[in-house]
Amino acid sequence: MPMESEAQGRTIARARLKFLEGSEPPTPVVPESVRDSWKRSKLLGIGIDEVVVPYRPDYDRESHLMRAAAPVLDRLEQTLAGSDVCVIVTDRKGWVRDRRVGEARLMAHLDRVHLAPGFSYAEQFVGTNGIGVALEERRSSVVLGAEHFNERLQKVSCAASPIRDPISGRVAGTMNLTCWNGPASSLMAALAQESADDIERVMYEISTSYERALLEAFRQATHYGDRPVLCIGDDLLLANAAAAERLTGDDHRLLREASAELGHAPRTRRRVRLTGGTSALVRCRRVDSRAGVAGYLLDLVFDDGPPAEASTGAAGTRSSGGPGAAADAGPRALPGLAGADPAWNTASRTAVRCARERVPLLIYGEAGTGKSALARAAHAFTGAASAPAVLDAADPRYRAEALGSGGDSGPDALPDALRAAPAGPGRALVLRHLDAVAPAQASAVAEALTAAAARGTWIVGTLGPAPEVPDSLLRRFVEAVTVPPLRHRLADLPALAECLLRRTGAGVECSPDVLPLLRRQNWPGNVGQLESVLRKAAAGRRTYRVEPRDLPPSLHTVGHRSLSAWETAERDTLVEALLDAGGNKLLAAQRLGISRTTIYRKMRAYGITLPTPR
């Protein structure tokens, strides 16, 4: 059997070379699914000697698919421990989400070819491989060593089976088994299919648990009254008549995205602009089930309906509109800030109202979104003469374990600092990184915040998107608001760039060619990262305004994978040479002493895109 397999492999390898060298289709000796994949790969221009795949490390580790796959992978990992078999789960687009490897040598090889979590093995990037073929053809596939389109993958064989959502029937991902070349392909195919079936069974159990929780929440919310209500899950959307007659399919999509952002707190709210120019105040409540977060229940108040007399904050208390509440309907031009995104406007209006009425506010958001800046601007908007006192619970001096380190450190340092902060009417106290407060400090910190609020101080806490905070602290805040990440408010980029450049005091502006480069970035560091980029660009500019050549090389690429120090240096050198040559690739290649073909290959590998030379 091994000799027959080797002979077949040599035959496939010769057929592949003839196919790559000529224009004739592959010979019938090649399996039909592999032949079709080779044709697609050649048409796409996939490389045969280098694995170039995008990298995206951020994904939902608590998704429906990953929750269902975890126990199956755990069992396979124990069963296959020490063997040369690797078990991999991808999502429906080929992104590797989990990998369990039993042999160190195989793991090292898979790392070299980027068959690892965060990378995509879709056919459009890698060419013929088990995962890509299974997703393209929506059926189980086996790709043996020489059948891979890319030569660097030909040391292994793989079998993959689609994982289908048992409720919707759609492909949710793939189960893939990879091993060194050998005679076990038929066994691998059977095990891959069996494992995919097991994941689908767990998905069904989770789905029914989610559905029961969502249906019960929807039933309770619509039992009394006829207010518009939506219940949103991964594969379920429920709407009562009051909501169905007002919302379109695009509105459902917008509200689903809003619920994902609002889901950081058990209860919170924001205003969402709907299709047709209308908007609605959305009160969001997370719905939990035994299997985890099932989805979200949304109460809607449309702009043309009667105003709500009261609203529910993050801590479950009620807050009236108060004096001047009607003025909150319009956007707030807060000092030193910019933006007209609906979610940003909602956050601004809520912050201004809470600052004016001295309502303790909890501000959620990713790092760099401007949570503290929003608190400072809202405080200044009320006409306060003094800046807020800002303390950071993540400061090493305030850690509970710093007891005995001397100075002002120790478990009482943070409560003492809060009590010592200026307090009273017209004052504000901002506690950053509330989730960094140690459980042993929580009660003392809560008491200090309560004492400051009792003296008329406006209390603000800031949190990341997925916090764990003791209830004793959360109960000190009446309202909550989420500051949207920059990638969700790219329409604000022109105003933000102008505002941030104005802070430099150099009278600098952005060239029109700069904004498209800024818009295509994900901005993981949000507004803080944008400000850093623009400051450096303004300091090193060659004209009276910031031009594309003044931006860092990383902004001229669209790749998502992490680069080594060597790769980063090579990418930067290529970008600088291309910019100096005005985008002329031949001229840049000549100056670097490499071929134009190499320039094109490296640009594709690093995702380098530049404006067309004029």
Q: Lowest-confidence range among 140-154, 211-225, 375-389?
A: 211-225
Mean pLDDT of 133-159: 93
pLDDT of residue 192: 93
Mean pLDDT of 386-405: 75
Cα–Cα dist 581/463, whole Å: 46
Give the percent of the chain with pLDDT over 90. Answer: 27
Structure confidence at residue 103 as a pLDDT band (50, 70, 90): confident
- What's the residue count for the chain? 614
3-state helix, strand, coil in the chain (%, to 5): 45, 15, 35
Which amino acid does the sequence have at 325?
A
Higher-confidence residue: 571 or 284?
A: 284
Crossing angle for the helix pair 371-381 and 342-357, to the nearest 10 degrees: 50
Contact residues for 488 (Cβ-Cβ < 8 A; gap 6+):
261, 341, 343
581: pLDDT strictly greater than 80: no
306: pLDDT strictly greater than 70: no
Which amino acid does the sequence have at 505?
G
CATH superfamily, with its number, for domain 224-303: PAS domain (3.30.450.20)
Highest mean pLDDT among 7-11, 84-88, 255-259: 84-88
Mean pLDDT of 238-248: 86
Query: What is the per-residue pLDDT across 450-462, written as a single tens digit (0 to 9) for each?
Result: 999 999 999 999 9
pLDDT of residue 285: 85
Mean pLDDT of 77-99: 91
431: pLDDT strictly greater than 80: yes
Structure confidence at residue 71 as a pLDDT band (50, 70, 90): very high
pLDDT of residue 558: 63
What's the distance, CA 536 to chain centroid? 26
Residues 331, 348: contact at Cβ < 8 Å? yes
Structure confidence at residue 191 as a pLDDT band (50, 70, 90): very high
Query: What is the per-residue pLDDT across 471-512, written as a single tens digit (0 to 9) for each?
Result: 888 888 988 888 888 888 888 888 888 888 888 766 788 888
Give the Cα-Cα-Cα angle 575, 578, 582 (nearest 5 degrees): 135
Place of tokens 């449309």: 302
Tell me the pLDDT of the chain averaged across its residues.
Answer: 81
Reference 279, options 338, 343, 227; nearest CA is: 343
β-partners of residue 482 are: 364
Residues 95, 230: contact at Cβ < 8 Å? no
Write down the domain spans for the chain.
6-205, 224-303, 311-484, 492-606
β-partners of residue 292 are: 289
Mean pLDDT of 194-221: 86
Q: Lowest-confidence range among 63-67, 93-97, 259-263, 316-320?
A: 316-320
Higher-confidence residue: 568 or 199?
A: 199
312: pLDDT strictly greater than 60: no
pLDDT of residue 263: 53
pLDDT of residue 466: 62
561: pLDDT strictly greater than 90: no
pLDDT of residue 610: 67
Q: Lowest-confidence range among 6-20, 336-350, 389-403?
A: 389-403
Cα–Cα dist 335/497, whole Å: 15
Q: What is the CATH number of domain 311-484?
A: 3.40.50.300
pLDDT of residue 163: 96
544: pLDDT strictly greater than 80: no
Query: What is the per-residue pLDDT across 27-51, written as a single tens digit (0 to 9) for each?
Result: 788 899 999 999 999 888 888 888 8
Domain covering 6-205, topology: Beta-Lactamase (3.30.450)
Structure confidence at residue 538 as a pLDDT band (50, 70, 90): confident
pLDDT of residue 92: 93
Higher-confidence residue: 557 or 366?
A: 366
How many DSSP H helices and E strands does the chain contain?
Answer: 20, 17
Reference 510, options 483, 476, 549; nearest CA is: 549
Structure confidence at residue 325 as a pLDDT band (50, 70, 90): very low
Residues 121, 55: contact at Cβ < 8 Å? no
Mean pLDDT of 531-545: 83
Please provide the distance, in angstroms rounded to a whole number, between the alpha carbons at the two ends of the chain: 62
In 240-374, which ranges are E strands? 267-273, 279-289, 292-302, 311-312, 318-319, 361-364
Which amino acid does the sequence have at 232?
I
Reference 221, options 320, 314, 295; nearest CA is: 295
Domains 6-205 and 311-484 share a fold: no
313: pLDDT strictly greater than 50: no
Query: What is the per-residue pLDDT across 272-288, written as a single tens digit (0 to 9) for each?
Result: 888 767 788 888 888 88
The string of DSSP codes covering 498-566 is HHHHHHTTS---B-TTHHHHHHT---TTHHHHHHHHHHHHHHT-SSSSB-GGGS-GGGGB---S---HH
Report DSSP state, residue 120. B
pLDDT of residue 142: 93
Mean pLDDT of 210-225: 80
Cα–Cα dist 86/84, whole Å: 7
Cα–Cα dist 421/444, whole Å: 15
Cα–Cα dist 67/28, whole Å: 42
401: pLDDT strictly greater than 70: no
Cα–Cα dist 158/128, whole Å: 11
290: pLDDT strictly greater than 60: yes
Structure confidence at residue 308 as a pLDDT band (50, 70, 90): very low
Give the percent of the chain with pLDDT over 70. Answer: 86
Mean pLDDT of 347-357: 90
Mean pLDDT of 2-16: 76
pLDDT of residue 128: 95
329: pLDDT strictly greater than 50: no
